Structure 1
Amino acid sequence: MEKNFFIQNRKKLAENLKDNSLIVLFSGNPQHKSADEDYTFLPNMNFYYNTGLKRESFILVVLKTNDKIVERIYIEKPDPQLEKWVGKKLRKDEVKDISGIEKVIYLEEFKSNLNTILNTKNIENVYLDLEKSSWNDDFKKSHLFARDLNKKYPHINIINIYNKISEIRMIKSEEEIKNIKKAISITKEGIENLMKNSKPGLYEYQLEAFFDFSIKYNGAKDYAFKTIAASGENATILHYEENNQILKENDLILFDLGAKWDYYSSDISRTFPVNGKFSKRQREVYESVLEAEVKTIEKVKPGITLKELNDYTKSILIEKAKKLNILKNDDEITKYYFHGVSHHMGLDTHDVGDRDKKLEKGMVITVEPGLYIEDENIGIRIEDDVLITDDGCINLSEDIIKTVDEIEEFMKNR
């Protein structure tokens, strides 16, 4: 991503700050795993979105006084001895080149500088990213900072900026869409590698490994999320994660997977027969789900909500389920379809944003209907990623094969 992207993101953010205010965003720290090992570090995505910086312990400060904006970024001071063990830290000029922020300061000066600002600039508000996904979530660095700040400066208003950043992130730029497309193209090759190597007798994780190899070979360093590789009855479990069953001759296997490219996700689901050939019943169920997906994509346009989209999808699946003789009453559909058809997608696979907000041009969402018939060992989900346009949408993953005939032809010729 070019630094102008991050400069423009900060400009949008600053427009939402009251005068005599500052915003403080933390990149975060790696979580401890065990002994002397940490989990792989992933920066706070709101911090990354506004800086382009991927390193731990960094702090962004944006000051707004008298309608003038001053930006500072605080970074770790390089330690030549430590760098022999863990690699080089970013230098000040590199941080400037990536973020477009001119004032780069070492972390040791953060608290003293902040104290000076709070005492001399008549600051009334401090904005922090105080997102919590659940009541029981552990405190993040921003929450601990808010608590400390409130004790030391009880007269200052602490305001949660998370929802405003989320709102800005919902509309994707051309650069973001380009990254999502790249993630999808890598995922496409990975899916084709799965189909080429599928055969009875493998474990689910052995087949999954062909996707792992493919995306890493093609430059994706991370997955969008933990891969679901669910064969037979396992595919009727929405978030099945064990991936440790043996593939059987007449089973279908459902893959829900994706790659990341420069932190931007793809999220694709495909279901195909382990042996390359659908049974008559599998074809009937599969084509019912496919029709629901195609019609739902055709329904996507600005002005519709995700709930309205899901209600439409559900009405199609109810009709199809009746024809499949698995449904008598409409309200029984939740036994066979029990999730939403869509979510926003971007830096996070289940991306930030108000799910009740009407779709707008530039948003990227998934479309993923499914039918899960436990007593027949059939679970089918088909998922694509679509970009909202002026009057409809573009299927960004349309090149990934999904019709019965396409899948069988591809697997026949492997």
Structure 2
Amino acid sequence: MKYQLIDNQLFIKNRKNFMAQMKSNSLAVFNSNDVYPIGADSTIPFQQDRNIFYLSGVDQEDSILVLFPDCPNPKHREILFLTETNDHIAVWEGEKLTKEKALETSGIKTVYWLQDFDKIFKEVMAQCETVYINTNEHYRANTDTQTREDRFNKKLKEQYPAHSVAKSNPILQRLRSVKDKIELDIMQQACNITEKGFRRLLNFVKPGVMEYEIEAELMHEFLRNRSRGFAYTPIVASGNNANVLHYIQNNQECQAGDLILLDVGAEYANYSSDMTRTIPVSGKFNDRQKAVYNSVNHVKKEAEKMLVPGTIWADYHVEVGKLMTSELLKLGLLDKADVQNENPDWPAYKKYFMHGTSHHIGLDTHDYGLLHEPMTANMVFTVEPGIYIPKEGFGIRLEDDLVIQESGAPKNLMGNIPIEIEEIEDIMNS
């Protein structure tokens, strides 16, 4: 890992909060992610399961966390199982976590080597009645691959059929959606790295540059600031490519007079940032581009004001839709008849703004959070309105990451990243 060690008080607190919501005499178990093969002896770079990381800070493959707050043996109320490091592993891969380093990382005192897992787990399972399993129930989850956790859960239910089974997910959805100060500081660091990458671009972009060259500039800046790289697959979409919402080819030449939609963000310590900016290839917006840009920016600013405790996500999007409808009428993209005759299930504004405005962000770019429950302080949401006009050859989206406050306006973690037309043009032409 490239990031600096995180204060283990975060993980101690996260475990305490999680265990406080477990049923009496219950146990919870969490597995690390698989190392996924590519072919031959190649593998995809490892990324840790977000839940075991959230609860332990352990960022290593083949790790298991067991939580059993009512265990008769106090030593077994929090247990980490890790791969035993040795000289061979140290030479070929680098030393894995020692028991001492695992304690420093997680705050967990009881650490066993993975080879002892079956014996210890059998012992603690005999002492509990309910077992919490880790499942991915995010509203956007859509995976065909069986995970290490899936295999473990299947085996557990076969071996211990008399135990009651509960889900960790509802507890984690609520806990992970509200950020601790340490988490907010880490997310701010991710946003600061994104800012450095974006400012680098403003002096780099010019007619004739390739989209992938822009991507490379960002990756360079991210890596040199302790980031692993992009928090998600980057979108560098020039001209009409911006009207493909998930355009990721990034292989076209940027033409004079066009705009570039950049949906990019650095990760830091497994936490995500998520930024979108739209900039002119030639360093200047034309009048039509300015008009559309200012409409998107206006909707964004007004939407941000609604990110306050008590707001319901679905109601918020209805209000944002009204704002966008007003702007599209001003731009001449809609007329009154379009609005009067619109389908309530797919309002007229959706022709030009077809995606949602906000989502939770944190350990995952589309982070955990129960959207039917009211927003609360220290939740972090993106705000990302856009207008897409294929017939005019451009699309504009703007996006920042905002922390809901107890009162007043949300805090913008990307408040120092240039967004106003004048500032962008001034930097690009300096």
Q: Which amino acid aligns with 2:333?
A: I
Q: Which amino acid aligns with 1:13?
A: F
Match of 1:35 among 40, 55, 77: 40
Q: Secondary structure at the match of 1:223?
A: coil
TM-superposed deviation, 1:91? 0.8
CA offsets per residue over residues 327-386 of structure 1, 9 Å max, x none?
Answer: 121332111000000000111111111122211001111000000001001200000111
Call closer, same or farther: CA 1:102–1:268 in 2, change over 3 Å. same
Match of 1:367 among 370, 383, 403: 383
Q: Does 1:179 align with 2:186?
A: yes
Counterpart in 2 of 1:190?
197
TM-superposed deviation, 1:135? 6.4
1:227-246 matches, cutoff 5 A: 227-246=234-253
TM-superposed deviation, 1:81? 1.9
- Conserved 8 A contact 2:198-2:218: yes
Match of 1:334 among 318, 325, 350: 350
User: Normalising by the residue count of structure 2, what TM-score does the alignment of the two structures yield?
Assistant: 0.93
CA offsets per residue over residues 227-274 of structure 1, 9 Å max, x none?
Answer: 100011000111111111111101000000100111111111000100
- Conserved 8 A contact 2:32-2:148: no
Q: Does 1:200 align with 2:207?
A: yes
Counterpart in 1 of 2:299?
292
Distance 1:242 1:17 in 2: 45
Q: Does 1:276 align with 2:276?
A: no
Counterpart in 2 of 1:397?
414
Distance 1:144 1:10 in 2: 24
Q: Which amino acid aligns with 1:364?
A: V
Match of 1:8 among 13, 33, 39: 13
TM-superposed deviation, 1:295? 1.0
Match of 1:23 among 21, 24, 28: 28
Distance 1:198 1:64 in 2: 55
1:75-154 matches, cutoff 5 A: 75-119=82-126, 121=127, 123-131=128-136, 134=141, 137-154=144-161
Q: Does 1:408 align with 2:428?
A: no
- Conserved 8 A contact 1:362-1:389: yes
Q: Which amino acid aligns with 2:357?
A: V
TM-superposed deviation, 1:108? 0.9
Q: Secondary structure at the match of 1:365?
A: strand
TM-superposed deviation, 1:209? 1.6
- Conserved 8 A contact 1:336-1:372: yes
- Conserved 8 A contact 1:305-1:357: yes
Say which is worse superposed, 217-226 or 362-371, in terms of deviation: 217-226
Match of 2:393 among 373, 377, 388: 377
Distance 1:273 1:244 in 2: 18
Aligned-CA RMSD value: 1.5
TM-superposed deviation, 1:66? 6.7
Which runs of structure 1 show a deviation greater than 3 angstroms over 4 or more consecutive aligned residues? 66-69, 132-136
Q: Which amino acid aligns with 1:361?
A: A
- Conserved 8 A contact 1:19-1:66: no
TM-superposed deviation, 1:136? 5.5
Distance 2:279 2:258 in 1: 9
Q: Which amino acid aligns with 2:355?
A: H
Q: Which amino acid aligns with 2:118?
A: K
- Conserved 8 A contact 2:137-2:169: no
Unmatched 5+ stretches in structure 2: 1-5, 340-346
Q: Which amino acid aligns with 1:399?
A: N
Q: Does 1:65 align with 2:82?
A: no
Unmatched 5+ stretches in structure 1: none
Match of 1:50 among 55, 62, 70: 55
TM-superposed deviation, 1:10? 0.6
Q: Does 1:343 align with 2:359?
A: yes
TM-superposed deviation, 1:139? 2.5
